[in-house]
Structure 1
Amino acid sequence: MKPQLTILAISLALAGCGGSGGSDTSASAAPTYTVSGTITAQNIDLQSQVCADINQNYMCDSGEPSSAANANGEFSITSTKKSILSVPLLAQVDTGIAANSTSGSASYYAYIAAPGLQKNAGNEINGISSLLAGYVADGLTVAEANSKLKAQLAKSGISISGDIQDDLSASELASLEQNIVSTIKVFKHSNRAFMLAQLSAKFDKSAADYVNGVLTNEEVVAFANFLEGELKAATALNDTGVIRYFSDIDDTQDVVEPQSSFPGQDAEYGFDKTELNTNTGNGFQFAKLDANGQVLADDAAQWSCVLDQRTGLIWESKTDDENSIQHKDRLLALELPGVVTPYDQDVDLATCKTKGDQICTTQDYVEHINSINLCGKSDWRLPTFHEFYNLLDFGETETNSDGKAYGLTYKYFPHQTAGIDYTSYIGSVWNQSIIYNQYSNTAVDGGFYYNEIGTLGGDRGYISSLEIYSGDVDSSDNYDSYQFPARLVSLQGK
């Protein structure tokens, strides 16, 4: 049994240590935490304001713990908030651009960043740390961000031993560091987390060499504008295409009039309704493009690509010619460089084996379409899950030979895949939707899960999680997984 203190004993104990009436209040004071480091970026004012980005919107807001760095770029931030150790650290950079074009009285600030490393001291903020922070903003761990950035640097012959955050000022990174800061300074959009994540993921895909030599302002601005376009494509939405209403009078056929007994239906809202009333469409704004990427008349009989004018994405047109590599039902094995290697048995069942060519995987197909500069473009790729889903037209009534309504607007996409008959939904094409939060105790080692999107008839828009095999699967113990066609996408202006 635990000993019990009497009221008298408790009173004496309190008196001995000052009690509740004593002058010592340190026991009740909130603990403080300190994070310190140095700004090492080139060509900026080292005496910049540094903050702990508590709300992680990648800008220093009023009320966030902050401190001005000294002439050597050294800073120290103290706060009662322990999170200052784990949130991004930002250095505020004056771009010299007026924030208010009418008054010109204030400057627009950019922010270079460093990921939160749980370090009290020794933190460093520059362009290279900003790349790591960009990857973390996109959901990666710091370790994963290091691996990604190392792989990008290896393409340029740069090898960093150990963690990159411990060697941020390496001489071989000097040009990249300066170019990254220059790019951040010309970003126009306020969605800084997205823009930084895109810069991290794609600086090595720029037409200008970000690693070897300092870029001109024109080269930096051109790539920043490209990333701005990526943001537009990621955030712009079409409507559903639904322009008819369900009716309880005749539930076998939808009607064009709003139904008072069923208010709030899809067709009552959005681009669908406004564009239908002005005879400009049903929620989409498409344009046909010729082989050089030039806009054609809307009634053109032949075209090579389709521009989605709302998102800025350009979509590949397919063909009904079975001898064409762009045939709508050409089957490919999935290959995503650096992510998914193709599975041998899926490659063996690809259309290339019967056609006698070498276009067997999605990456083979991407490289082929880029090599022919389809519609004047050389940045073709598989669409993301959201990009393709945003293309679905749930109001399309044109049907294929099996009586299944098409999932894409038939006027612009007349050749759509019929799909394969052993998946959950029909009409699927490959996208980049690899998912890691799906688990099954029957999963095959080396396999992963993928979100398939149905595109025909009643399957339009339905999603099914499929197990796809990669090259790490033992082909001696397993059959094939899946093969789908592909419809590639590019970005206007790139």
Structure 2
Amino acid sequence: MKPQLTILAISLALAGCGGSGGSDTSASTAPTYTVSGTVTAQNVDLQSKVCADINQNYMCDSGEPSSTANANGEFSITSTKKSILSVPLLAQVDTGITANSTSSSASSYAYIAAPGLQKNTGNEINGISSLLAGYGADGVTVAEGNNKLKAQLAKRGITISGDIQDDLSASELARLEQNIVSTIKAFKHSNRAFMLAQLSAKFDKSAADYVNGVLTNEEVVDFANFLEGELKAATALNDTGVIRYFSDIDDTQDVAEPQSSFPGQDAEYGFDKTELNTNTGNGFQFAKLDANGQVLADDAAQWSCVLDQRSGLIWESKTDDENSIQHKDRLLALELPGVVTPYDQDVDLATCKTKGDQVCTTQDYVEHINSINLCGKSDWRLPTFHEFYNLLDFGETETNSDGKAYGLTYKYFPHQTAGIDYTSYIGSVWNQSIIYNQYSNTAVDGGFYYNEIGTLGGDRGYISSLEIYSGDVDSSDNYDSYQFPARLVSLQGK
């Protein structure tokens, strides 16, 4: 399972199938489950549509269990899906006419939320519950969200005893509640989970006082725009790509259905969660880009880059042409300006020596790709460890000619390195992961340690610490260290 390495890990647990909640428990009738509560937000139509956010994208999609609240904001949702008790509850509210809504993709609806509390009754949806749900969107438990929100309130002189979700309409929280709802209405970006998570984490850092006064529209819009800027600079988590389950009945083949004897498997959680008997997941959201950086149709046969729509990162596409500098298996020596100078013997074994060009190190390669403005970008660089690990698709089943499953989603990354055979794991490409917590009394002076990430077959996601030589190593007394290909990354909007 992919570790939680960057912000925005949306992994609220969905409860398994089965159990009982209806009066008819016969084999021919599925049990039903009910979740009810009240919309108590200020300045919204209480007769709002309320839904159980099964796919956790923080909007009410067609087919998700829902109902319409009455004039008092009271709602009740019934479904055969037990997960309605544990996923976020959303109230769909009209954003109204806002002067700042300049994006053509801006929705006329916003969604205030409440975390799934496993409560059949007594659920409450307002601005304060939305803050708790925002912490949940960032992978934080309700208990941890309570503690974080209490700490934020304490800085502004408000002390809440007990759990905040039990006192969401407290009078001392009224102004904060109103301001949070106003800010959610002002969001322009469709990545609602990220925006809500950032609002929860940073409302107390706004120049405007969210807690003790009612904000003007200008103050609300300014902070919403600030959070939009945070989105452009962030790297959010994808899921693992795993959508199938291990079965104790047939351990030679994964199955599509959750296994009651093995609960809590990876496929039951997060973006990868699918409905029974389907073979689709939403662990990754990629788009193909042409040479100018424009989005292509998803079935385009040729593309130059891939946009990770969840993280905002753009990834270089490789080729299968050995004469291209962007060939998937072109080997480079590591060079990070101001940090690592290239080692002579690694440069001598780079692909440039057999191709007769000058692109021998990772920095040479960065400069070349920037010089051609690939996909209209000139800020290409090596990815960080976290950025590349976030790209791994542990559910990919396509294999290379050696029968090794690919580590990246094949549909968007068909040309992946075959790797070299003298490292711990195969399929590695360079990242910026120099580490300083590794020690060996046999380490070479001028060398350093580096985290290699395996990307093929059973090595997908495994990490090995390698000693890499820099230009400070005496090449007369040592052989080469390592050479890997590189897959560069750029930030959308930069």
TM-score, with structure 1 as normaliser: 0.55
Cα deviation for residue 38 of structure 1 reads 51
Determine helix, strand or coil for the equivalent of 1:302: coil
Give the conservation status (yes or no) of the 8 Å contact 2:273–2:281. Answer: no
- Per-residue displacement from partner, 1:135-167 (whole Å, max 9, x unpaired)? 999999999999999999999999999999999
Give the conservation status (yes or no) of the 8 Å contact 2:392–2:461. Answer: yes
Q: Hey, what's the Cα distance between the residues in 2 that align with 1:144 and 1:278? A: 34
Determine helix, strand or coil for the equivalent of 1:76: strand
Q: Hey, what's the Cα distance between the residues in 1 that align with 2:58 and 2:48? A: 15
Structure 1 stretch 332-341 or stretch 29-38: which is displaced more? 29-38
Q: Work out which of the two has the higher radius of gyration on C-alpha atoms and give 1 or 2.
A: 1
User: CA 1:95–1:480 in 2, change beyond 3 Å: closer, same or farther?
Assistant: farther
Give the conservation status (yes or no) of the 8 Å contact 2:451–2:463. Answer: yes
- Report how many residues are paired: 494
Q: Hey, what's the Cα distance between the residues in 1 that align with 2:114 and 2:7? A: 54
Give the conservation status (yes or no) of the 8 Å contact 2:106–2:190. Answer: no
User: CA 1:270–1:292 in 2, change beyond 3 Å: closer, same or farther?
Assistant: same
Q: Hey, what's the Cα distance between the residues in 2 that align with 1:181 and 1:7? A: 23
Q: Hey, what's the Cα distance between the residues in 1 that align with 2:268 and 2:166? A: 57
Give the conservation status (yes or no) of the 8 Å contact 1:98–1:106. Answer: no
Query: For the aligned residues, what is the CA RMSD?
Result: 17.7
User: CA 1:355–1:249 in 2, change beyond 3 Å: closer, same or farther?
Assistant: same
Q: Hey, what's the Cα distance between the residues in 2 that align with 1:132 and 1:235? A: 22
Structure 1 stretch 435-444 or stretch 171-180: which is displaced more? 171-180
Structure 1 stretch 439-448 or stretch 214-223: which is displaced more? 214-223
- Per-residue displacement from partner, 1:36-82 (whole Å, max 9, x unpaired)? 99999999999999999999999999999999999999999999999
Q: Hey, what's the Cα distance between the residues in 1 that align with 2:438 and 2:336? A: 19
Structure 1 stretch 177-186 or stretch 468-477: which is displaced more? 177-186
Cα deviation for residue 281 of structure 1 reads 3.9
Give the conservation status (yes or no) of the 8 Å contact 2:293–2:375. Answer: yes
Structure 1 stretch 353-362 or stretch 11-20: which is displaced more? 11-20
- Per-residue displacement from partner, 1:9-53 (whole Å, max 9, x unpaired)? 999999999999999999999999999999999999999999999
Q: Hey, what's the Cα distance between the residues in 2 that align with 1:12 and 1:153? A: 25
Q: Hey, what's the Cα distance between the residues in 2 that align with 1:488 and 1:7? A: 21
Give the conservation status (yes or no) of the 8 Å contact 1:18–1:24. Answer: no
Structure 1 stretch 446-455 or stretch 1-10: which is displaced more? 1-10
User: CA 1:81–1:410 in 2, change beyond 3 Å: closer, same or farther?
Assistant: closer
Structure 1 stretch 468-477 or stretch 76-85: which is displaced more? 76-85
Q: Hey, what's the Cα distance between the residues in 2 that align with 1:24 and 1:113? A: 31
Q: Hey, what's the Cα distance between the residues in 2 that align with 1:81 and 1:122? A: 19
Structure 1 stretch 349-358 or stretch 229-238: which is displaced more? 229-238
Cα deviation for residue 273 of structure 1 reads 1.1
Match of 1:461 in 2: 461
Give the conservation status (yes or no) of the 8 Å contact 1:230–1:491. Answer: no
Q: Hey, what's the Cα distance between the residues in 2 that align with 1:138 and 1:245? A: 25
User: CA 1:194–1:433 in 2, change beyond 3 Å: closer, same or farther?
Assistant: farther
Cα deviation for residue 282 of structure 1 reads 3.9
Give the conservation status (yes or no) of the 8 Å contact 1:46–1:71. Answer: yes
TM-score, with structure 2 as normaliser: 0.55
User: CA 1:451–1:175 in 2, change beyond 3 Å: closer, same or farther?
Assistant: farther
Cα deviation for residue 250 of structure 1 reads 1.2
Give the conservation status (yes or no) of the 8 Å contact 1:186–1:221. Answer: yes
Structure 1 stretch 239-248 or stretch 29-38: which is displaced more? 29-38
Structure 1 stretch 246-255 or stretch 171-180: which is displaced more? 171-180
Give the conservation status (yes or no) of the 8 Å contact 1:226–1:493. Answer: no
Structure 1 stretch 64-73 or stretch 391-400: which is displaced more? 64-73
Q: Hey, what's the Cα distance between the residues in 1 that align with 2:436 and 2:449? A: 7
